[in-house]
Chains A and B, each alone.
Chain A
Amino acid sequence: MTTQNIPKIMKQGSWVPWLYLLPALIVMSFFIVYPMINTISLSFGNKDGTAPASTTCVEGKPCWGIFEDYRYALTAELNFSSAGALWDSFWKSSFGNNLKWIILMTAGTVGIGLAYAVLADRVKYEALAKAILFMPMAISFVGAGIIWKFVYDYGTKQVQIGLLNSIITSFGGKPVSWLSTPGLNTLMLILVGVWIWTGFCMTILSAALKSVPEDILEAARVDGATEWSTFWKVTVPIIMPTILVVITTMVINVLKLFDIVYVMTGGNFSTNVIANRMYTEMYKNFNVGRGTAIAVVLVLAIIPFIYFNIRRFLEQEAIR
């Protein structure tokens, strides 16, 4: 061995990091970047990508030229005849429903998850209690959808096979058609989502709770704070970063939500969501231009939350 010759690897050029990144970059560009670019270019085309979207305009109808597919994606479900009609149709559209999902499901999963984590923290059978709440996570969305479809089943006889309706009828009430009553049905679907995802939020929040230093809590108690104010003024601020991460994760999850709606109502009776609408356009109507336009809208809606999540993550890293 020569001593003079320093191994080349010690004085690596600026290209070397790229070399290490190469496998990841290849995989990423093949599976993410290329499909993304292709999706965007298809969203400016007609139903099979053979001509620009502007050719699909119908005379005498509103037309956005090359953005015609986006016009469809954004306005087709809305009724612009009056402000009241617009308001009503918005809340029946997939965008309105997605908004309901975001607000209610995120609040439900994080709220219940946090409450459950705090309460379970104080009991001896904590592991068991948490396992029970976490269990639905192990069920696929489709499976959960089918299970809950039975729970919500509406029969035409007084004897009901649906759990919820059989409880109601056993008290002499009239059965309710949970999944086809507009307004009520989306709430019932959100309940299923909450049932599945609460365990996930609970686990992460519970881990964060465990990391709250006991001495700070002790100090607060010594200073005479009640349990209530200790929780809101000490515990919650400490675990706030985790709560925010859980919230943004849930929002991203909810925006992409598809399975529950597809299985349980097929998007009928004003329960449609953006992802299901995308599937319908793409694989039932075989309208690639419109399907991809809806997909792009969905991605654009998700990007702010991803950005927020990454920024929080970087801030945390900086602190550490």
Chain B
Amino acid sequence: MNRKSMVWSLTSLFTLVAILLSACGSAATATQAPATQAPATQPPAATEAPATQAPAGTEAPATQAPATGGIDCMGAQQGDEISMLYQWSGTEEDNLNKILAPLVEACGIVLKPESSRDQALLDTRVKAGTPPDIAFYNIAQLVQYQDKLKDMNDLGINADNYLDSWKQIGTVNGKWVGLPVKTDTKTIIWYSPANFQSAGYEVPKTWDDLNALVEKMVADGKVPWSMGFESGDATGWTGTDWIQDILLVTKGPDYVNGIMDGSIPYNDAAVKEAYQTYGKWATDPKYTVGGAQGTVSTAFLDAIYKPFADPPEAMMVKQSGFAAGAIAAQFPDLKYGTDYAFFMMPGAQGIQIGADWMMAFSDKPAVKALVAYLSSDAGGKKWAEVGFDLTPNKAGTDSYTDPAAKDKAKLLGDAAAVLADLGDKIPGGFGSAEFKAISDYINGGDLDKDLSDVAAAQAQALGK
């Protein structure tokens, strides 16, 4: 009996000590790279023989620059470390490692990556004053941490490789805080050329063509659209993408930018009109698979599959470029170009994009080397070659190998304007208010009330 209680008190004591230790130690252990760190990119020379190992070979040991294939190390030393935080894992992480391999090899930089999809992690780090050197994250974070981020111009960015509209999106209050590294196009519609051909449909060139095509499909007894909102706590984002794309058709980029800077309130007449245009399709089982309940309940991935199933449940789905990968994974037999392909939202006067941004909390040489490399010709080409979605870096345009990526890159290169997602760019509760509004409206809610809620969040976020 006595023995037993002693065992218990010892156990609880140990537990207490363990809790205390982990609480005190968390600051120290947190910055250590976790198990997901990429062993491939770490040069073996980090600890042993650091200085003597010239990566390019035995000759030209003194000056690294010429031997490194155009990679400028910006004064970074062998063994310099960069701690980084991103949301990628698995194949995505492998892709990044492949892209950064030339830099790691040339300059001997040691990458200390951490992977987490939990935004709260980055937020906690930044607030605690221990941010990673760099983070690959969303536009929202650029706005949120603008005061703590370094200006890309001071980090040796090759600005010529980026279109002005990219620079514009990455600039917050006059400071260029984000380097766009990976992007995807949103303003496109996926369809099956085979199905279109057998039904005698043609790819629409204008918005009116699209409307006529949709009506023709309905008359033929086919369901034109596949839509799916369901995406956990981000349910509704496919709908708000739609709205922004319709606005790009009906009003154009300046109008959308007006919403972004707050000069146009979200409950403006044209926005309401866009909701109604979309709602006409998204709530009617004749126009979309399953009607309103189908739209709100279908997972966004399932919605991508429906036009390509056999027999097809729908004719078209509006979804970002990543749909190509999803279709290829779900239907390995289908071929891009004949069985699935995309066209730009007809009449859109700009392309809506989603992008991952590199942001720097530190301006040490290794970070400069990374910025210089990623924005250089070599970096852009490598990114496109590896095919990690698309790179906004112009130099990459001709280096894609995947046919779908080639077409997407061409679309992006030809775009009159590139625009961020409204929900990404406007900070605070705007994004979730927008998701909530579209979900509620499609589910039968009161549109005016929904839009004024979003407008309130917009006004609050932008201080207008």
Please report A residues at the B interface, Cβ cutoff 8 Å. Answer: 23, 27, 30, 47, 56, 58, 79, 154, 156-157, 177, 179-182, 262-263, 265-269, 280-281, 283-287
Contact = CB atoms under 8 A, between A and B. Distances in A.
Interface in B250-307: 289-290, 293-294, 296-298, 306
B163 interface: no
Contacts of B313: 156-157
A301 B428 CA distance: 27
Given A154-B297, A286-B123, A268 B429 contact: no
Interface in B338-367: none
Given A269-B443, A283-B119, A58 B460 contact: yes
Contact of A156 (B233, B290, B431): B290
B236 interface: yes
B144 A286 contact: yes
Contact of B232 (A156, A266, A287): A266
Given A156-B289, A177-B296, A280-B432, A182 B443 contact: yes
Interface residues of B, number: 36
Nearest to A81: B449
Given A58-B460, A156-B298, A284 B432 contact: yes
Contacts of A156: 289-290, 294, 298, 306, 313
Interface of B: 16, 19-20, 23, 119-120, 123, 144, 232-236, 289-290, 293-294, 296-298, 306, 313, 427-429, 431-432, 435-436, 439-440, 443-444, 449, 459-460
Nearest to B232: A266
Contact of B16 (A23, A58, A182, A286): A23
A286 B234 CA distance: 15
A27 B298 CA distance: 47
B24 to A, nearest CB: 10
27 contacts: A27-B20, A56-B460, A58-B460, A154-B293, A179-B297, A180-B293, A180-B297, A181-B293, A182-B443, A262-B233, A263-B232, A266-B234, A266-B235, A268-B235, A268-B236, A268-B435, A269-B439, A269-B440, A281-B429, A283-B119, A284-B119, A284-B432, A285-B432, A286-B123, A286-B427, A286-B428, A287-B429
A27 B19 CA distance: 10
Contacts of A269: 296, 439-440, 443
A160 B460 CA distance: 43
Contacts of A267: 233
Most buried by B among A27, A267, A268: A268
